[in-house]
A and B are shown apart, each in its own frame.
Chain A
């Protein structure tokens, strides 16, 4: 009898435990995320992946990072990876070699997963689907474009890669990848809308024009001027098909938030005030207008690139006074739209103006002291891409332009010059238009230089001035194979040294012609997958 009671009691206790254990079951799924079962079910969800791919493509950080690799900017305050590369100290273990690689393959993963899974989405409208696929293919092509620019031959695949493959994949020759990029960019044009048909609400989405312009840029980097010419001509001459583009009325206005998505913009990376922002100017703008310190500053080399209103290099123009180098009535107006120099008039958001004094002894927050300090290391600050509507800390929602019509004109001019087809008419539809828009008025600057001049130098100089700080300069130097010319020797700043008698002398840069046209593959990646070897030439391993 007693035993029976105990048994019942035990049974009761077990029941109690089971009852209590039903508080939480052993099967639990997350409440904050979708799973494979409930994600690929609608067009909206697929669009989320597409949006992710857009955001991974390019951004303000990448643009300024690329610029810091060039001779336009100098990072005097701290030893960044870009500075290490420029000083010839980079080894395959450099963090940036590894992080850039990872970043681009992450972007590729998004694209490949999208393409692999998009068929799972039920009832997806055919036109919508082909457009989404075209956008993804553009982004994928761009990621490979960037990868091959930096690393040359790279692992190449067009569907999602398995873990096993990722451990053994070897490098595909540069030419093969570039061929794929061109084929893709050509093939998707038919599925993308023209700018002319794009609803305002879709501003920022990829168009036919973007695909053609990107293709032109890819050919340009390969030195295939024939193809550059063909693609640029599509954009210049067939605007009914590829979209109506023209130079925006004001050079400075081109980068103003009120003029976003203007007729010059072929493709830009979109930012949204407050919600999706960038703030790189916080460490580039003058201290006195709110920047806490300066991390990156324009070089003397960039400042010297700007010609005079007479269409002459400063060295050739007798009107140029070394003691009044920034003379606004003499210098290319784009200088003051790009670089902040001593005596610069900074227009604040409220419309008032303040003068930026950088010269030693001026006693201002912006005053140059020495390199290796919290103020500018070169004697200059940055103006371009300043957004007067930005929040405190230069938090801006201003779009970052990736492709614009002026670039198309410059590419076209360069291609025609290289093809020896540059003449008065080509000049007039390219350089002349650009200079006119920049604010040049004198015939000497606007007319085709008929006298014996180095046309190549003029066009390259024009390209540097027009597109300064837009992330293109480094790649231009690399494709011209002009590393030694532009990326060797001392970096100089303003004439503030030795009682304002000499230029500030900064890092000594050593460009290695045998090595520095390509980055090293990341050391850790070569260790994980030995099929990535051999490394690009010149690196120790």
Chain B
């Protein structure tokens, strides 16, 4: 007994060593976890076998040499070839070794123990009782591709029986990557799962675009997120701890997604979290990663005096007086430039991740308990801007007789501290004149000619902050009841509870014009605003499912029938104060509530969706498959008469290689399967209450005698509103070659989305806008391809994976057939026959070289241009450049998106690479990155802009320098031409990981089952056709709409990550 206690405390000590390395809060979580992992096993009456009580015993026996014995033997494959590097483990002690080149192993073991043989790509062999003789073990190769279990909607299936298009991303791809969230981790992992990270600000996790198979609709293209069987909120995906993920299924066609009915048109992402394994002793895994993120600012300003010279040139070129006298320029040249403000505000920042999990199980129950901590420091200078995430999860399964209870409890906490405004735009525009200083020696923040009302350094250092905290609880209880052989009744109840809060405090900062000034020119945040925002939301999810699966000889029948309800209720409120106490931010005399404060009824949203769903499957002899599924949804987003919709799908599969006449093929080549599906999917992602005509009251719209009054406006409703329908056809082929070493999966699809909800473009004479109408149609075609190959020779275990996909769309029906919108300099066009929201504008025809050329060419009306200015193509030849001369000049949606993975294991070493990219994309750019001295906001010129036209540089890339506002400048930079379009294709080395796993003998000596150390890097290398803009940056969100304005490239820079990590398993 004494012994037991001692060894148990020794265990805790070894953990606490690592615990000390972890910050306080996660440490508390960790201890809680250690406590928890003992608790549920007791509560659930787990059998004595590897229960927690046995840990001590096991440790005790590990040092009990008296009972030791030696096991030795050889390991072969089915072709009787010796296998090296096979891991041989004593199940009882955890000790392990590896076979040598002859397949020989020898291990000190306990008497009567069990040996386990594990080798990647081969079926595990266990339960081999050690006897005295030399053993001969045969490992069978796994035909792992076809037998892989695939998670689908409301159930699982195997790869060989899948009839639709589904990709599964496993934990292996996600593990140990220094990603900030799960969405980032998914980039490049699955064909036609298109993820674009538009900026890298840790505090704006929402700038990731997710699209599955292109643009399904002209509205919201977000895929449906389902976590452990429950439909969840979009935000939940990034609340998960990537380390907790077992697998992620991407449902892409009607065959697999129709079971999610009116919300599945843009695809479904099914996330399954890790569970414990039955009959497994507690396995403790600890992992930590630490690294630095290095911001990569892609542009560099010219020297200060050069900037001044070039500014003068731009002015004199436009007939204006120069801004700098020769003396001033000489003065600038004689002084050393100040540090560029962009470099002043951004710095390398650390990132850390720590994870701990305990999992195991008895005969009737399993558990998996995990805790995670993630901390990414913002690269901004200032008071520790960062984002932190805490994850806690307990997944347990208990079986008793006919019952199986699954319980998932997950808690996520995000804490973030963000800057009150993005300083990048301002910082990038400031030249490096020595006298432009952000802060004087006496501490005063200074303004200058460029920074007329804001100072990036001041805002970051002393401007206040936004403190955000989010609590997310996910509760998921499922009870399976086996009614009879093959028939199960499942009841599931789940809830997502979101509780978000943010507190914004903007601090008053005095700005001075000169160091010596005693009174400030002005104050930033002069109204001292303070703001509190609270949101509470819960999503209730209840399901009753009847699940049937039974084989009758060669026939196998599966069936599913279910009823579900989901209710969402979200409320929020905000308090906005101005003129608060300068020290505390609390109300004081003179404090006012701003009228944009809001109370709960202003921000209440309630939705509900009731559904009936079903699936019927039939398989004959593992050769022929047929499946039909449907869902009928009733949604509160639509008026009663249009509320219910029916979404059916059917699919067929044929494993050719199982046919008699293909026996030869199967033996010599491999598996071959054809599959196809057709069905209807829906999309109902629109704002709530759209079918109501509403009158909204606006505060302080007018006033009489200095008394403010309210006004009312109205918004038309459309009672005919209903969901969009996407008819999807998919054919696919799965094949394996070379004994399953090479496997290939290819799909072709065609989808037509009709009844797309569009705001009709109507004459403005009508006086108001209309709500959405079901009026658009969009066609998509595309293909996905994934290939994986494994090669295992001379101890080098290699695997290659390639995935690539393409989708192209065409607007086939659109209200008014055409819509051209201008966002700053850019035109976007929606036109029947073109891809959705294409870039539209003028085609350039080089630069004017002479006045004669100008005289004989078309120019925009009223523009006096000069040699060196842009020349445009006069499309209709009418002698003038006007809007009739515009062309379609590109499309910003990524095409030929690809991912490439490579893994290599040799002895204890391993290497993993992930390359990801886009094969075709047009990237539009405006602003100072393109135009020198942009619109008088920027006073700087960048080195990449120096190739401008001069009489001696007539083959320049850019037009001559001109002053903002001049006709030439308007002509060159404000027309919206293909000068603004860059080639956006790229290839990025997304992730590199090099690891070393300690030989198990050594690991065993330090009490570990497995110890792995690794170094990793992210975004280390990018190949693209231009140097000054991150090729991923885009003004478009996942819906290809650009509400935020045209792309200016003023985004948080790309972060390169370098780091290392360590994993323990014991």
Determine the chain B residues whose CB is within 8 A of the CB of A529 once the complex forms. Answer: 763, 765
Complex: how many Å from CA A88 to CA B765? 26
Say whether B635 contacts A17, CB under 8 Å: no
Pairwise interchain contact A276-B323, C-beta atoms closer than 8 A: no
Which residue of B700, B762, B768 is within 8 Å of A276 (Cβ)? B700
B-contacting 9-mer, from A33-41, A231-239, A423-431: A33-41
- Whether the Cβ atoms of B766 and A23 lie closer than 8 Å is no
Q: B468 CB to closest chain A CB, in angstroms?
A: 24
* Contact yes or no, A6 B862, CB < 8 A: no
Most A C-beta atoms less than 10 A away, residue of B634, B761, B768: B768
Chain B CB within 8 A of A391 CB: yes
Q: With A24-B607, A374-B452, A524-B820 known to touch, is A79 a contact of B965 (CB < 8 Å)? A: yes
| With A292-B452, A370-B322, A541-B884: A101-B764 Cβ-Cβ less than 8 Å | yes
CB-CB under 8 A for A372 and B453, given A9-B489, A290-B521, A392-B526:
no
**Residues of chain A contacted by B450 (CB below 8 angstroms):** 374
Which residues of chain B from 839 to 866 have a CB within 8 Å of any chain A CB?
860-864
In the complex, the answer to whether A201 meets B601 with C-beta atoms within 8 Å is: no
In the complex, how many angstroms separate the beta carbon of A394 from the nearest chain B beta carbon? 11
Known: A20-B542, A21-B565, A540-B861. A200 touches B705 (CB 8 A): yes
A190 to chain B, nearest CB (A): 22
Chain A nearest CB from B351 CB (Å) reads 37
Q: Which of B643, B689, B860, B974 has the most CB of A within 10 A?
A: B689
Question: Quick check: B860 and A89 within 8 Å, CB to CB?
Answer: yes
**Is B2 positioned at the interface, with any CB of A under 8 Å from its CB?**
no
Contact A391 B527 (CB under 8 A): yes
**A355 CB to nearest chain B CB (Å):** 15
Q: How far is the CA of A161 from the CA of B315 in the complex (A)?
A: 51
Residues of chain B with a CB closer than 8 A to A204's CB? 703-705
Q: In the complex the two chains form, is B763's CB within 8 Å of A17's CB?
A: no
Contact partners of A78 in chain B: CB under 8 A: 935-936, 964-965
Contact B965 A76, beta carbon cutoff 8 Å: yes
Contact with B along A265-303 (1 / 0, CB 8 A): 000001111111000000000011010110000000000
Given A372-B965, A497-B321, A161 and B765 contact (CB-CB distance below 8 Å): yes
B588 contacts partner chain A, Cβ-Cβ < 8 Å: no
A158 at interface by CB-CB < 8 Å? no
Q: Which of A495-541 contact B (CB under 8 A)?
A: 497, 504-505, 507-508, 510, 522-525, 527-529, 540-541
Q: Quick check: is A28 within 8 A (CB to CB) of the other chain?
A: yes
Interface mask (B679-704 → A, CB under 8 Å = 1, otherwise 0) = 00000000011001111111111111
Determine the chain A residues whose CB is within 8 A of the CB of B696 once the complex forms: 32-34
Judge if A87 is at the interface, Cβ distance under 8 Å: yes
Cross-chain contact B763 with A166 (CB below 8 angstroms): yes
B763 and A373 form a contact (CB under 8 A): no
Fill in one digit per residue for B712-724: 1 if any A CB lies within 8 Å of its CB, else 0. Answer: 1111000000000
Quick one: which of A84, A160, A508, A528 contacts B763, CB cutoff 8 A?
A: A528
B169 lies within 8 A of chain A by Cβ: no
Assess whether B544 is in contact with A13, with CB atoms less than 8 Å apart: yes
Residue B546 CB within 8 A of the other chain? yes
- The answer to whether A17 and B595 have CB atoms under 8 Å apart is no
A270 and B964 contact, CB distance less than 8 A: no
B767 — nearest CB in chain A belongs to which residue? A109
Nearest-Cβ distance from residue B339 to partner chain A, whole angstroms: 22
Set of chain B residues within 8 Å of A372, measured between Cβ atoms: 315, 318, 320, 936, 963-966
Interfacial chain B residues near A202, Cβ < 8 Å: 704-705
Stretch at the interface among A49-57, A217-225, A323-331: A49-57
Q: How many of A's residues come within 8 Å of B, CB to CB?
A: 111
Over the window 148-179 of chain A, the binary record of Cβ atoms lying under 8 Å from chain B Cβ atoms (1 yes, 0 no) is 00000001000011010011010000000000
Residue of B563, B606, B704 ringed by the most chain A CB atoms within 10 A: B704
Find out whether the CB atom of B521 lies under 8 angstroms from the CB atom of A540: no
Q: Considering the chains assembled together, what is the distance between the CA atoms of A274 and B578 in angstroms? A: 11
Asked if A48 is at the interface (CB within 8 A of a chain B CB), the reply is yes
Which residue from B604, B608, B694 sits with its C-beta under 8 Å from A23? B608
The answer to whether A528 and B761 touch (CB under 8 A), given A51-B702, A370-B315, is yes
Q: How far is the CA of A475 from the CA of B883 in the complex (A)?
A: 28
B634 contacts A26, CB within 8 Å? yes
Are A23 and B540 in contact (CB-based, < 8 A)?
yes
Contact A270:B704 (CB < 8 A) given known A30-B694, A78-B964, A525-B765: yes
A21 touches B767 (CB 8 A): no
A167 contacts B602, CB within 8 Å? no
Residues of chain B within 8 A of A273, CB atoms compared: 706
Q: Does B664 contact A (CB under 8 A)?
A: no
Which of A91-99, A244-252, A432-440, A476-484 is near enough to bind chain B?
Answer: A91-99
- A180 contacts partner chain B, Cβ-Cβ < 8 Å: no
Q: In the bound complex, do residue B452 and residue A293 qualify as a contact, i.e. CB atoms below 8 Å apart?
A: yes
Within 8 Å of chain A (Cβ to Cβ): is B770?
Answer: yes
Instruction: Decide if A24 touches B636 in the complex (CB within 8 Å).
Output: yes
Q: Is A27 in the interface zone, CB < 8 Å from B?
A: yes
A102 in contact with B764 given A20-B565, A52-B713, A272-B707 (CB within 8 Å): yes
Residue of chain B at shortest CB distance from A106: B767
Contacts of B453 in A (CB 8 A): 292-293
Asked whether, in the complex, the Cβ of B767 is within 8 Å of the Cβ of A105, the reply is: yes
Q: Which of B745-804 contact A (CB under 8 A)?
A: 761-768, 770
**In the complex the two chains form, what is the Cα distance from A28 to B863 in whole Å?**
56
CB-CB contacts of B814-826 with A at 8 A, as 1s and 0s? 0010101010000
Interface pair B703/A21, CB less than 8 Å apart: no
Give every chain A residue within 8 A of B315 (Cβ-Cβ): 370, 372
Q: Quick check: is A205 within 8 A (CB to CB) of the other chain?
A: yes
Q: Among A10, A28, A160, which residue has its beta carbon within 8 angstroms of that of B489?
A: A10
List of B residues within 8 angstroms of A45 by Cβ: 695, 712
Q: Is B483 an interface residue (CB 8 A)?
A: yes
Q: Is the CB of B768 within 8 A of A106?
A: yes
Interface check A397, CB cutoff 8 A: yes
Q: Are A163 and B936 in contact (CB under 8 A)?
A: no
Residues of A within 8 A of B323 (CB): 369-370, 373
Q: How near does chain A come to B711, taking the closest CB pair, in angstroms?
A: 4
| Chain A, Cβ-Cβ closest to B709 | A51
CA distance A89 to B859 in the complex (A): 11
Give Cα A305–Cα B319 distance, bound, in whole angstroms.
27
A77's contact among B318, B763, B965, by CB below 8 Å, is which?
B965
A166 touches B700 (CB 8 A): no
With CB as the reference atom, state the residue of chain B lying closest to A51: B711
Chain A residues positioned under 8 Å from B521 (CB to CB): 288, 290, 365
Contacting pair A203 B513 (CB below 8 A)? no
Instruction: Tell me the complex Cα distance, A240–B808, Å.
Output: 74
Nearest opposing residue in chain A for B643, CB measure: A26
Residues of A within 8 A of B603 (CB): 32
Give complex CA distance A293, B936 in Å.
11
When the two chains form their complex, are residues B493 and A20 in contact, meaning their CB atoms are under 8 A apart? yes
The chain A residue with its CB closest to the CB of B319 is A505
Interface assignment of A14: CB less than 8 Å from any CB of chain B: yes
Most buried by A among B606, B703, B864, B964: B703
Pairs A–B under 8 Å by Cβ, sample size 14: A9-B483, A21-B565, A26-B608, A48-B711, A76-B965, A79-B964, A105-B764, A113-B714, A163-B762, A166-B763, A275-B595, A370-B321, A371-B963, A372-B320
Given contacts A260-B706, A508-B864, 16 further A-B contacts (CB under 8 A): A13-B489, A24-B540, A26-B635, A34-B696, A34-B697, A36-B693, A39-B712, A48-B712, A78-B964, A102-B764, A155-B765, A161-B767, A202-B704, A371-B320, A525-B765, A528-B762
In the A-B complex, the 9 residue pairs with the smallest Cβ-Cβ separation, listed nearest first, are A109-B767, A52-B711, A21-B565, A392-B526, A292-B453, A24-B567, A48-B712, A24-B608, A89-B862
